[in-house]
Copies of this chain bind each other. A is one copy, B any other.
């Protein structure tokens, strides 16, 4: 394949945490896979652990902030070590590489003309427990260098999560400040509505400073997602909520509007 003069950037999105050598091994492998090596950026390593569904909605909200031709190496996989084949999706001018468990699926819904490829099976002798390093990293580096799917990848038409709803009225991530991010995009949220969660009805605000300290509210966060927060406090502690908790909407002063199904259900 033709090498491009400047390889694209690889963004890492995992649930590995920053502890241990795992993220370091991804970087080390990407450094050795192609020459010149791609730029590698840690997008985040505390993606919702073992929750490919939650992590898929959060990844989708991040994609627009990455450059065109970005390659996202994504790993959130409760079935790690099983014989799950690797998936590559091309959508919105960006590439997504990771397990075929829904993790990549929501991000691919926003683009037209999505292309999907299945990675060839890992060669024998590859440990079953670190496909991020031993399978996906080489594929990501090749894609970044060439702008094309890696050799051996086969075009496919179906993948897990392909039919999941684009918005999910549920909490998907608790950040380090206790803010609760949901899978509902602000652009598709009901207007003039309260969020019902943990037995409370929360009004909308534009930003933290618009409500008194200690007050819970919802707003459209800097990723474009509906987020539940408490000014100068932790919404997670206050509301006892966690990833997977459903979110309900109610017109101001009205009774319950809708329930929150699991994605794809």
A208 and B20 form a contact (CB under 8 A):
no
Residues of B within 8 A of A210 (CB): 81
- CA–CA, A9 and B32, complex, Å: 10
- CA–CA, A62 and B133, complex, Å: 13
- CA–CA, A100 and B9, complex, Å: 33
A34 within 8 A of B: no
Q: Can you report 16 A-B residue pairs in the complex whose CB atoms are below 8 A from each other? A: A9-B31, A18-B176, A19-B44, A19-B176, A20-B46, A20-B176, A21-B62, A25-B222, A28-B67, A37-B39, A80-B207, A82-B209, A127-B222, A129-B219, A130-B222, A133-B222
A positions within 8 Å CB-CB of B: 9, 11, 17-25, 27-29, 31-32, 37, 39, 41-46, 58, 62, 65-67, 70, 79-82, 127-130, 133-134, 173, 175-177, 206-210, 219-223
Known A28-B66, A79-B209, A134-B222; further 10 A-B contacts with Cβ < 8 A? A9-B31, A17-B177, A19-B44, A20-B175, A21-B44, A24-B42, A24-B43, A28-B70, A31-B39, A81-B209
